[in-house]
Structure 1
Amino acid sequence: MADHNEPNDVKMQIGIMGEKLKEAMPVSVQEFPWKKAEHILVDRLFNLIQEAVKWSLILFFIFSSVSDVVYTFSINRELIIPVALFVGCLVADFLKEISQELFHRSEEKDLKWHFLGMYCIFVFVKFMSTWFATLPRVFLLHVANGGLMQILWLWRNFVEDAKNKQETSSASSLRAS
């Protein structure tokens, strides 16, 4: 019976300590808008994570593209590069159009997830190309590079358009004031 009451005693002691700590805090700390600070911190952390993901995807594209070009030159198949890059860009545009048709809600956040999903598809193509013979492998590597390049370009244009819309809406709201 004594063991059963012990957790309640611990909870009661923790509650008493919390109340004493709250009483010992200065009024300015008690009146601080903690919820607003929490939301600001979460927003900043989310933006930081987005930037980290963006730059890691860009670095992956750069290093893997350079590696693929060096590999292609080493096996003397460099004429495949422009054709495969072009095919990759076309496939990326095709996937973008399909995703916009399937998901009519092309809000900002949804569109970012579409781009990330398409990026993952091309990364998957890059990894799957290792199981093919030399010529199809080289072609698929550069198709994936072209798709990744096009998606990064579309993502960049999307971010710039969103910033321009935000600037024009803030400028028009300032004029209305």
Structure 2
Amino acid sequence: MTLLASSVLPSFPKLQVKEFKYQTAHLHGSLSSRVCCQISPLCCMKITTGQFGDMNNMKKKLRIVKERLWESIPDPVKEFPWKKAEDMLLVQLLALGWKAFKWSVMPVFVYSSLSDVVFSISRNQELLIPLGLLLGYLMTDFLKETSREMFQSSEQEKSLSRHLLAIGSFFVVVKFISICFAIKARVLLLHVANGGLMEVLWLWKHLVKEDEGDEGDFSSRQDASSDVAAET
């Protein structure tokens, strides 16, 4: 019994020493983690401030390069009206795009009209073709006169072009809506839209010719006035 007691009693200090070592190791780990957590924001702050300083230096260098390039440019290039040239180029590009759009509308309309005629003949509804074209023509004239009376403007040419654009858009919508109807109603609406668009394009053509004639008269008047001024 004494031997058993002596063998059991010395084990308690060993257990206490192990627990003490575990507690000290745990305390050391927690302290080191806290220190790292406290140090890491400082490191992040140093990194961000360094990046901000690099960005400021880069901006300063770019500003210096820009100033030197501007100083190296000749004075005639600096005095050139770049803003006016940019505006003129933009106007010319818009006019060119508008002309391209106007000339591209014609083949699309011809192809669409021919496909509608073929569709009507294939469905044995060719008698509705002239009726639809006539109704479209009459609707275009009616809508044009109504829009002129409702929206009177001092610039009649611009207002007429806007009215024609709105009427043409209306007939394009009618052409798309006709898909939802039965065969007879669909064929009739297709040719109503074709007749309306045909009349819109005809009126638009005359409007463009009038504009070109007015521009030619205006340029001839300017040339005549410049010649008179030169003679005097």
TM-score normalised by L of structure 1: 0.88
In 1, distance between residues paired with 2:145 and 2:154? 11
- Displacement of 1:48 in angstroms is 1.6
Deviates more, 1:94-103 or 1:107-116: 107-116
- Displacement of 1:54 in angstroms is 1.2
In structure 2, list runs of 5 or more residues that go unmatched.
Answer: 1-48
Pair 1:24–1:45, CA change in 2 (3 A):
same
- Give the number of the structure with larger relative contact order, counting CA–CA contacts within 8 Å between residues 6 or more apart: 1
- Displacement of 1:172 in angstroms is 3.5
Q: Specify the structure having the higher radius of gyration (Cα).
A: 2
> What is residue 81 of structure 1 aligned with on the other side?
129
* AA matched with 2:171: F
Q: What RMSD over aligned residues (CA atoms) do the two structures have, in Å? A: 2.0
* AA matched with 1:113: R
**Conserved 8 A contact 1:99-1:114:** yes
**Conserved 8 A contact 1:100-1:106:** no
- 1:158 paired with 2:207, answer yes
Q: Return the match for 1:118 from 154, 167, 171.
A: 167
Pair 1:168–1:25, CA change in 2 (3 A):
same
Pair 1:6–1:33, CA change in 2 (3 A):
same
In structure 1, list runs of 5 or more residues that go unmatched.
Answer: none
1:79-132 superposed Cα distances (whole Å, 9 cap, x missing partner):
211111111011111111122122211634443332222111111000000000
Pair 1:106–1:97, CA change in 2 (3 A):
farther
Report 1:60-79 matches (<5 A): 60-79=108-127
In 1, distance between residues paired with 2:137 and 2:80? 52
In 1, distance between residues paired with 2:65 and 2:57? 12
Q: Return the match for 1:168 from 211, 217, 220.
A: 217
- Displacement of 1:8 in angstroms is 4.5
In 2, distance between residues paired with 1:169 and 1:29? 33
**Conserved 8 A contact 1:122-1:148:** yes
In 1, distance between residues paired with 2:185 and 2:81? 60
Identity %: 45
- 1:19 paired with 2:67, answer yes
Q: Return the match for 1:141 from 167, 183, 190.
A: 190
